[in-house]
């Protein structure tokens, strides 16, 4: 069983930065694909970024490219999402997710992830 705990959310002004962290309680963290998703009020949960456990390759949603960076520290069982130049439309609950297997190099679909955290709120004011 994998437990994921996100932290680092908060209320910031547009243009600011935040770094989200997700700590995983699993011995074989280095074997899991990790992803970040977000869900704004009244909207579907959407993909933000993901990182492979095989070669560290990454994938980003168009909305995140150039502003967000996903990274992982296998020694700390933690995945990060560095978010820069935040916009009001980035306001959402951000969820960390883990997948043991993937059909593609970097899984980007919600259905590919079997483990989810409880989410952390990010609010960006204009």
The model's pLDDT over 63-106, given as tens digits with 9 standing for 90+, comes to 999 999 999 999 999 999 999 999 999 999 999 999 999 988 99
Which two structure tokens, joined as six digits, stand for 17? Answer: 């930065």
C-alpha to C-alpha distances, 119 to 15, 42, 44, 54, nearest whole angstrom: 22, 16, 14, 25
Mean pLDDT of the chain: 97
Judge whether 27 and 45 are in contact, CB under 8 Å: no
The DSSP secondary-structure symbol of 29 reads G
Query: For position 53, what pLDDT does the model report?
Result: 96
Query: For position 1, what pLDDT does the model report?
Result: 86
């Amino acid at each position: 069983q994998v437990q994921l705990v996100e932290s680092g959310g908060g209320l910031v002004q547009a243009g600011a930065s935040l770094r989200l962290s997700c700590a995983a309680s699993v011995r074989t963290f280095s074997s899991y694909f990790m992803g970040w998703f977000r869900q704004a009020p009244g909207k579907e949960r959407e993909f933000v970024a993901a990182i492979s456990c095989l070669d560290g390759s990454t994938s980003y949603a168009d909305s995140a490219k150039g502003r967000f960076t996903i990274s992982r520290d296998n020694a700390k069982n933690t995945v990060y999402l560095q978010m820069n130049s935040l916009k009001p439309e980035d306001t959402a609950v951000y969820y960390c997710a883990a997948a043991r297997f993937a059909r593609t190099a970097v899984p980007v679909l919600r259905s590919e992830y079997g483990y989810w955290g409880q989410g952390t709120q990010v609010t960006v004011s204009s």
